[in-house]
Amino acid sequence: MYIFEPLVKKVENYIRTSIELYKLKTINISADLLSTIISRGLVVVPGFAFFATLNIGLSLWLGDMLGKIYYGFFGVAAFYGIVGVIVYLFMKKFIKKQIRESFISHLQN
């Protein structure tokens, strides 16, 4: 029994160290993903505000050109509807693949 005691203690220490290492790796990956999401969010939110304001201005301008303000909003909405359908039909697999690869690469580092 005394012969195996040092071996058992080494195995226990190894297991504890391995568990602690996995915890630290998980924390590191989570922190990396969270910081990426937050940093991109800080860029995306003002970008959306700019884009929304630009679209409203474009809709008002187009509506003025067409004679009725709401025609401009319909025109811009139709444009984005067509673009959305094209992106969905032709790029769905490509976009999904890019997001999946980006997520996996973050998890592996």
Domain with 12 in it: 5-108
| pLDDT given for residue 1 in this prediction | 58
Tally the domains of the chain.
1
- Give this prediction's pTM: 0.57
Report which residue type is found at 44.
V
Q: What is the DSSP string of the chain?
A: -TTTHHHHHHHHHHHHHHHHHHHHHHHHHHHHHHHHHHHHHHHHHHHHHHHHHHHHHHHHHHHHHHTSHHHHHHHHHHHHHHHHHHHHHHHHHHHHHHHHHHHHHHHH-
Walking along the chain (109 residues) 10 residues at a time, the average pLDDT comes out as 79 93 88 86 91 96 94 95 89 78 73
C-alpha to C-alpha distance for 101 and 67, rounded to whole angstroms: 48
| pLDDT given for residue 71 in this prediction | 95
Question: How far, CA to CA in Å, does 68 sit from each of 10, 14, 64, 106?
Answer: 80, 75, 6, 49
